[in-house]
Structure 1
Amino acid sequence: MRVLGVDPGLTRCGIGVVDGTAGRRLAMVGVGVVRTPADAPVGERLVLVEQGIEAWLDEHRPDAVAVERVFSQHNVRTVMGTAQASAVAILCAARRGLPVHLHTPSEVKAAVTGSGRADKAQVGAMVTRLLRLDAPPKPADAADALALAICHIWRGPATDRLRQAAARQNGTAAAPSASAASSSSSAVAARPAADRPAARDTAVRTRESAT
C-alpha cells in the first residue's frame, strides 16, 4: 500500500509518501513541504496548496490519502488556515476517487511512538527510526506527514475491518426483527378462523342467539 500523508497548513503543508503494509518494513518514497507566502490573498494561497498536492499525487500515485483531523486551537486564525488546507487536500483526493482517512494527532502519536502525548521531537525520532533515515525530516511538518502515512498503513486496514463488521452486524440485526414480524403475521393468518379470539367470540354469540 502506498499512502500520501498530509499535515495541513496554509503557510507550510507537509507531504509524505510511504510504502508498506501492517507488520512489514516501511519505506519512504518522498517527503516535502508545500509553502505559500504569508502576505498573499487566501484564495491564491489555497490554489498554491492545491497545485502542490496535485503534483505529489501525479508523481507518486498513492492508494490512499491520510490527512490530520483538525481540532480547535487557541489561535482561531491558525486553525482556520489549517482547516482550509485540509479541505483542499480532501478535495484533491476525492476528485481522483482516492479514499481519504482522517487521523487525530493523538492517534498518530500513539501509532508511531506508543504514546498519544509524545512531542514533535519524539515523533520525528521514531519516524527516522521506522523509515531508516539518516536524520529526522525537516521541518516538523514533513515528519508529521510521514507519521500520518505510517499511522494509516498500520491502523487503517484494522479500522476498515471494524467498520465493515459493525455495518454487517447492524444489517443482520435488523433482518431477524423484520423476519420475525413477517413470520408472526403469517402464523396469525394461517390459524383456523375458530382459533382466533374474534372468531371464537362470534361463535359463542351465534350459539347464544340460537338458544
Structure 2
Amino acid sequence: MTVRKIGPQDLQWLPALCDLLIDGVHRGASLGFLAPLSRYAALTYWHGVFARLGPQHSLWIACDSEHGDQDGHEPCGPLQGAVQLSLAPHGNAHHRGEVQRLMVHSQARGRGIASRLMCRLECTAQAQGRSLLVLEAPAASQAEAVFVHLGWQRAGEIPDHEACAEGRLHGSALYYKRLSSGTEASREAGLATA
C-alpha cells in the first residue's frame, strides 16, 4: 500500500476519486452527499477540491503499490482511500487543522488504510506547526469506532446535524486530537513512509 500526496496537476486521479466517493455515498457513508450520487456531481466536487489544493488544503490517497509506477505521475493501482486536511487560516487558529472526508473503498476496509492515511496527515500537520486537529463523524457510526481506535477524543455530539446518504437526519460527533511530541511524530512519519 502506498500513501501519496496529490497536487492540483494530478488530474489523472479524478476518475478513481469519483469512483471512491460514489462507492462511499452508495454504501451509506456520510460524506456530504445524498444517494444516488451522479458521476457529474462527484466530478464537480473533486474539481473544487483540486482548485483548493495548496498550502492550506492537502489531499492524500492510498493505492495498491504493486501496480504501475511509484513516482506519483501515473496511478499505481486501484485507489483504496483518500483523506483531506484543511489548515485554519485565521490568525487565532494557526495551531489547528481540520480532517475532512476520510474515505476507504468498501472492498478495502479492514486493511489499515485509514490508519495509514491518518498517520501521514497527522505527521504532516505537525510538521506544519499544527498542534490540534478536529473532525466530525456521524454519531454511532463505524467511523466513530475508527477514530477512537486511532486515539481521537470525543468532544460532544450535535443532534440532527446533517442528513445521511439516505436522507435521514442524524447526529454528528465532534472529535479532536492533540498531536504528539516531535520525537514521536518523526518516528510515526518514518513508519508511514516505510
Query: TM-score w.r.t. structure 2 length?
Result: 0.29
Higher relative contact order (CA 8 A, sep 6+): 1
Instruction: Identify, as 1 or 2, the structure richer in helix.
Output: 1
Instruction: Identify, as 1 or 2, the structure richer in strand.
Output: 2
